[in-house]
Amino acid sequence: MSNLNQALEYAAQNREKLLQEYKEFLAIPSISTLPENRGDVYRAAQWLVSELTRLGMARVDLIETPLHPLVYAEWLGAPGKPTALIYGHYDVQPVDPLHEWHSDPFDPEIRGENIYARGASDMKGGLMAWLKAVEAVRSTGDLPINLKFILEGAEEIGSQHLPEFLENNRDLLKADFVINLDGQIHAPGKPSITYSLRGLAYFEIEVHGPKQDLHSGLFGGSILNPAQALCELIAGMHDADGRVTLPGFYDSVRPLNAEEREMLAHNPQTDAQWLEMCGAPGLWGEKGYTTVERTGARPTLEVNGIVGGFIGEGAKTVLPAKASAKISMRLVADQDAAAIKGQLEEYLRQNAPDTITWSLHEHSHGPSAIMDTHSPQMQATVKAMTDTFGVEPFFRRDGGSVPVVGMMQQTLGIDTIMIGFGLPDDCIHGPNEKQHLPTLLNGLNTCIRMIDYLGDI
Amino acid sequence: MSNLNQALEYAAQNREKLLQEYKEFLAIPSISTLPENRGDVYRAAQWLVSELTRLGMARVDLIETPLHPLVYAEWLGAPGKPTALIYGHYDVQPVDPLHEWHSDPFDPEIRGENIYARGASDMKGGLMAWLKAVEAVRSTGDLPINLKFILEGAEEIGSQHLPEFLENNRDLLKADFVINLDGQIHAPGKPSITYSLRGLAYFEIEVHGPKQDLHSGLFGGSILNPAQALCELIAGMHDADGRVTLPGFYDSVRPLNAEEREMLAHNPQTDAQWLEMCGAPGLWGEKGYTTVERTGARPTLEVNGIVGGFIGEGAKTVLPAKASAKISMRLVADQDAAAIKGQLEEYLRQNAPDTITWSLHEHSHGPSAIMDTHSPQMQATVKAMTDTFGVEPFFRRDGGSVPVVGMMQQTLGIDTIMIGFGLPDDCIHGPNEKQHLPTLLNGLNTCIRMIDYLGDI
């Protein structure tokens, strides 16, 4: 397009405005998992509707679902040019433990080069980069590609109403490729593109013992404590080599071949850096794999939460009636996310003693994804990133799950480009989530260039 | 004494008054473990001070401690007669889970033959029985024995300031025997006397992994999840035979001889009744022992509470920074309660992986106790019970801990008689705690007779 330099100049001139609007968006506590924040999630959707309207999209819809609304927008004024479907989410994770935050998670605070707020990195920052790129291009000329937006408010809780919407709106969402804004890069000076994501299956196990909490002195030793039983079940879910023991768990895992292990070995992330970022006493994981492989190319099982009995201050001599755990698995190609529940049920059937009862609830599941690194849109993205950062991005696998990538592939039949400008140490989902501002501004310029280069494919 | 029949008649005539005062006492939420109830605990102590003053005790003191106050009272107007030191506690356990109560735990409600309230059975009922027995005797004649009362407000949290008070007040508390009101009987028509109690050692274990909660997708599989590590540690604390694996745990346990096993086998409690009371899917416990032995004569280890990660509604994909568990052991003669911490530390040192760190805090510990079933005061108690219930009580071991029994033995050098009129299914420490009212009235008459018969020894 003729106006690339003017658009980049517009972005440079309007940084303060971008920052103000970003802060405004971050201040909305759009926590999708908490019923008390439902109104805030709705407010975030309305904020996007007015922003997209202001950007001159030809159509902007706020679409109700049984839970949180979807926002759809389109501008199709470039006939014959590619159509990009922009996917993003405007919901965020809960903020607990709140006392570990150094500033209010919904009162964004800039300290040094970072802005601290829940959602700053995951992913209100990425959304802002793309919206402001559209603004920069539109303010200085015409869009050289067609745009559709589908933005959801339930990504952090499993996108449960999105699949049905995709199924029922294949024509509306017809596009040449998806741009998914939920990515990250490796480091401020080391851009990367994620070409593989892990799937997710998230469960809650409840173990029941006595009909109600009992006195642990009077009854202790005569019936099995459900918290002990739950611990034994969880302990048995890994073997001594750090492998998950659910029956059939690894059966369909696509093995890493030598070529891909070689490519992954080029990831500049060192174990020492990783350990420093975690702040744990040491690394751990499945025997026979590197840390990069363990987090990107191998499936895992984690306890996300566990609770049972008396958890207040002090001591209570109780034998609890029940104990429960939230447990989730990260999955890789070609594991079937829907099949994991059966494997977990089978494990519980085989291992739970008959002196307790158990129940299993699936919160959500989503597929893993692998993307084509050689497509023209991927190559346009590589060029936009290279021209912005001054260095070519490397390809990497990500440990997190972006189930919508697999969903788009399965339902709409189109591939995704993952972009994003968060960093691995942004503490997404944890306390003190941050976004590195110089990287976000590079992200804005990358998005402006992408719009340009994608118009040429 | 000459007024036994009049005293029993007084008790019969004043049941409604007893019930009203009992309800008033139960309405005070004297939960000792919760800081927010500290004022209520104090109020319960003041209630006792005015009650004991009204009963004509010659001296009544409210004694401050760093936590909850002690109440001391005495009447020494029967020179040459035995002196009984009455021990009781006026504090209660927390009430959670509150939603499982069918009525307000601090608004006592009578349903059928039972009164429902926190503390109804443990042990405001027993206290009322003794206080009203003193009232009945004093209202109709003279007390034939000397009485001292020591009532505490921190029994449910380990009586931490009582040992020092006992040490420093040996002369004040000088008595011929202790009457401890914290007992139970087997069933309304089957009275029993507890001659053995388990000791208690109560700990909190905290396991730390990463410096803060991490995203379970990005980091999962590369560091050890502290909730998983805690589960593995807890799972390892029992072997396949239900035995506790802490090093040295059983070394000093006094074995059951054939004679005592024979005596315990006369306990009319059947496994079917026990299971019905627990409402668990099945019985469980240390291999080679009966249920009566497992709960009375064998040491145990229980998880009283466990928590880590996200425990709210819904799903959060977090790898928690830490997880913790409250774990307590019930001990039997001749285990050293103070030595258990070392055994647990040794277990953690041997079994905790170096990819997490752990810390251990001891909430409290208290000794086990075995009482002489042939002493004159025990025989007077047997007779008072037999004459009231119309059937001779049997001797039994109790699984609960009443550390003060061992403390009194060690510090004051005097033996204890345990009495009490709660029932095993009273749900003490759990929701819907109750007291069976006809049994409490039998308890009142037993106490009146005890005062009489103890005057003759």
Q: What is the pLDDT of residues A34-44, one digit of tens each?
A: 999 999 999 99
In this prediction, residue A424 has a pLDDT band, given cuts at 50, 70 and 90, of confident
Q: Measured between CB atoms, which of A100, A198, A223 is closest to B284?
A: A223
**So what's the pLDDT on residue B402?**
83
Q: Do A424 and B319 touch (CB under 8 A)?
A: no
* Smallest CA–CA distance from A320 into chain B, residue: B304
Q: Which residues of A touch B315 (CB under 8 A)?
A: 33, 157-158, 202, 304, 326, 328, 363-364
- Selected residue of B155, B211, B270, B303 to mutate for chain A interface (largest A Cβ count, 10 A): B303
Mean pLDDT of A159-172: 94
Min distance A141 CA to chain B CA atoms (Å): 39
Chain-chain contact of B223 with A300 (C-beta, under 8 angstroms): no
Q: How far is residue A56's CA from residue A51's CA, in Å, rounded to a whole number?
A: 9
Which of B228, B281, B356 lies closest to A281 in CB terms? B356
Nearest one of B47, B77, B76 to B62, comparing CA atoms: B47
Q: Distance between CA atoms of A43 and A51, rounded to whole angstroms?
A: 12
Cα angle, residue A367 at apex, residues A363 and A369 outer, rounded to 5°: 150
Q: Can you read off the two tokens belonging to residue A163?
A: 């699949």
pLDDT of A406 reads: 87
List the pLDDT tens digit at each of the 457 positions of chain B.
569 999 999 999 999 999 999 999 999 999 999 999 999 999 999 999 999 999 999 999 999 999 999 999 999 999 999 999 999 999 999 999 999 999 999 999 999 999 999 999 999 999 999 999 999 999 999 999 999 999 999 999 888 899 999 999 999 999 999 999 988 899 999 999 999 999 999 999 999 999 999 999 989 999 999 999 999 999 999 999 999 999 999 999 999 989 889 888 988 889 999 999 999 999 999 999 999 999 999 999 999 999 999 999 999 999 999 999 999 999 998 999 999 999 999 999 999 999 999 999 999 898 899 888 889 999 999 999 999 999 999 989 989 888 889 889 889 999 999 999 999 889 998 999 999 999 999 999 999 999 999 999 8
Q: Give mean pLDDT, residues A298-322.
A: 96
Three-state helix/strand/coil letters over chain A: CCCHHHHHHHHHHCHHHHHHHHHHHHCCCCECCCHHHHHHHHHHHHHHHHHHHHCCCCEEEEECCCCCCEEEEEECCCCCCCEEEEEEECCECCCCCHHHCCCCCCCCEEECCEEECCCHHHHHHHHHHHHHHHHHHHHHCCCCCEEEEEEECCHHHCCCCHHHHHHHCCCCCCCCEEEECCCECCECCECEEEEEECEEEEEEEEEECCCCCEEHHHHECCECCHHHHHHHHHHCCECCCCCECCCCCCCCCCCCCHHHHHHHCCCCCCHHHHHHHHCCCCCCCCCCCCHHHHHHCCCEEEEEEEEEECCCCCCCCEECCEEEEEEEEEECCCCCHHHHHHHHHHHHHHHCCCCCEEEEEEEEEECCEECCCCCHHHHHHHHHHHHHHCCCCEEEEECCCCHHHHHHHHHHCCCEEECCCECCCCCCCCCCCEEEHHHHHHHHHHHHHHHHHHCCC
- What span, in angstroms and rounded, lies between the C-alpha atoms of B155 and A17? 63
Amino acid residing at B230:
L
Per-residue CA distances from A233 to A239, A350, B31, B322 (Å):
12, 10, 34, 19
Distance CA A26, CA A117 (A): 7
Q: What does pTM read for this prediction?
A: 0.79
Residues of B within 8 A of A279 (CB-CB) are 210-212
Phi, psi of A417 (to 5 degrees): -105, 125
pLDDT at B341: 98
Q: Is the ipTM, as predicted for this complex, more than 0.85?
A: no
Q: Which residues contact A132 (CB under 8 A, 6 or more apart)?
A: A11, A14, A18, A21, A444, A447
Q: CB–CB of A172/A95 below 8 Å?
A: no
Phi, psi of B433 (to 5 degrees): -60, 140
Q: Is the pLDDT of residue A360 over 70?
A: yes
Among A215, A315, A364, select the one facing B364 at the smallest CB separation: A315
Q: Which two tokens stand for residue A86?
A: 């922009």
**Dihedrals φ, ψ of B328, to 5°?**
-130, 150
Q: If residue B52 lies in a helix (H) or strand (E), which one and from where to where?
A: helix B38-54
Q: Which two tokens stand for residue B87?
A: 């021990």
Q: Are A373 and A132 in contact (CB under 8 A)?
A: no
* Residue B269 C-alpha, separation from nearest chain A C-alpha, in angstroms: 13
Question: Between chains, do B94 and A315 touch, taking CB under 8 Å as contact?
Answer: no
On whether the CB atoms of residues A278 and B214 are closer than 8 A, the answer is yes
Residue A169 has pLDDT above 70, yes or no: yes
A230–chain B nearest CA distance, Å? 8
The partner residue sitting opposite B33, judged by closest CB among A34, A308, A314, is: A314
Q: Which among B202, B219, B230 is the nearest to A295, CB-wise?
A: B219
Q: A97: which chain B residues are within 8 Å (Cβ-Cβ)? A: 213
Output the pLDDT for position A251. 97
Q: Give the separation between CA B400 and CA B384, rounded to whole angstroms.
A: 24
Chain B residues touching residue A307 (CB < 8 angstroms)? 306-308, 311
Task: Give the 3-state secondary structure of residue B434.
Answer: strand
Say if A300 is an interface residue toward chain B (CB within 8 Å): yes
Q: State the average pLDDT over residues A255-276.
A: 91
Compute the distance between CA of residue A299 and CA of residue A350 in angstroms, rounded to an integer.
22
Q: What pLDDT score was predicted for residue A243?
A: 98
CB B225 to CB A94 under 8 A? no
Which 437-456 residues of chain A touch chain B by CB within 8 A? none
Contacts of A99 (CB under 8 A, 6+ apart): none
Query: In 3-state terms, what secondary structure has residue B314?
Result: coil
Please tell me if residue B311 touches chain A, with a CB cutoff of 8 Å: yes
Please state the domain extents for chain A.
4-197+368-454, 199-253+299-366
Tokens found for residue A40: 């805030």
With 90 as the cut, is the pLDDT of residue A104 above it? Answer: yes
Q: Which residues of B touch A288 (CB under 8 A)?
A: none
Six token digits for residue B11: 């008790």
Q: What is the maximal distance between C-alpha atoms in chain B?
A: 82
- Confidence (pLDDT) at A54: 97
Contact state of A315 with B157 under an 8 Å Cβ cutoff: yes
With an 8 Å Cβ cutoff, are A430 and B291 in contact? no
Cα A381 versus chain centre, distance: 20
Mutation target for A interface from B317, B330, B359, B401: give the one with most A CBs within 10 A.
B317
Say if the Cβ atoms of A307 and B311 lie within 8 Å: yes
Under a CB-based contact definition with an 8 Å cutoff, are residues A123 and A89 in contact? yes
Instruction: Give the CA angle between residues A51, A55, A57 to the nearest 5°.
Output: 100
Is A215 in contact with B400 (Cβ distance < 8 A)?
Answer: yes
For residues A163-168, give the mean pLDDT.
95
Cβ-Cβ contacts under 8 Å, B234 against chain A = 227-228, 231-232, 235
Q: Do A218 and B309 touch (CB under 8 A)?
A: no
In angstroms, the separation between the Cα of residue A426 and the nearest Cα of chain B is 10
Distance, in Å, from the CA atom of A421 to the CA atom of A431, rounded to the nearest integer, reads 19
Query: Would you state the pLDDT for residue A373?
Result: 85
Report CB contact under 8 Å: A235, B238.
no
Residue numbers of A between 391 and 420 with CB closer than 8 Å to B: 398-401
Computed on alpha carbons and rounded to an integer, the radius of gyration of chain B in Å comes to 23
More confident residue, A6 or A374: A6
Q: CB–CB of A328 and B319 under 8 A? A: no
**B307/A306 Cβ within 8 A:** yes
Q: How far apart are CA A333 and CA A312, in angstroms?
A: 42
- Per-residue tokens: A310: 């008396």
Q: Which CATH class is domain A4-197+368-454?
A: alpha beta
C-alpha of A16 from chain center: 28
A219 touching B (Cβ < 8 Å): yes
**Closest residue, chain B, to A363 (C-alpha):** B315
Beta bridge partners of B180: B87, B418
Q: Does B436 touch chain A (CB under 8 A)?
A: no
Specify the range with the lowest mean pLDDT, choosing from A119-123, A155-159, B326-330, B418-422.
A155-159
Query: Which residue on chain B is closest to A202 by alpha carbon?
Result: B315
* Strand order through the sheet with A369-370: A369-370, A192-197, A394-398
- The CATH architecture to which B4-197+369-454 belongs is 3-Layer(aba) Sandwich (3.40)
Report residue A1's pLDDT band, with 50, 70 and 90 as the boundaries.
low
Residues 59-98 of A with CB under 8 A from B: 93-94, 96-97
Best residue in A192, A222, A225, A233 for a mutation probing chain B (most B CBs within 10 Å): A222
CATH of region A199-253+299-366, choose from 3.10.520.10, 2.40.50.140, 3.40.50.300, 3.30.70.360? 3.30.70.360
Q: How far is B161 from chain A (nearest CA, A)?
A: 15
Two tokens, residue B327: 């774990």
- Residues of chain A with Cβ-Cβ distance to B33 below 8 Å are 312-316
Peptide bond before A277: cis, by omega within 30 degrees of 0? Answer: no
Contact between B401 and A217 using a beta-carbon 8 Å cutoff: yes
For residue A224, which of B329, B428, B276, B282 has the smallest C-alpha distance? Answer: B282
CB atoms within 10 A of CB A175: 20
Strand B146-152 and strand B199-208: pairing?
Answer: unpaired
Per-residue tokens: A236? 């048995």
- Partner B, chain A 158-187, Cβ-Cβ below 8 Å: 158
- Of residues B216, B238, B286, nearest to A228 (C-beta): B238
pLDDT of B1 reads: 59
The kind and range of the H/E element at B322 are strand B322-331
pLDDT at A266 over 90: no
- Which of A198, A303, A315 lies nearest to residue B363, judging by beta carbons? A315
Q: How far is B326 from chain A (nearest CA, A)?
A: 7
The tokens for B54 are 């009204």
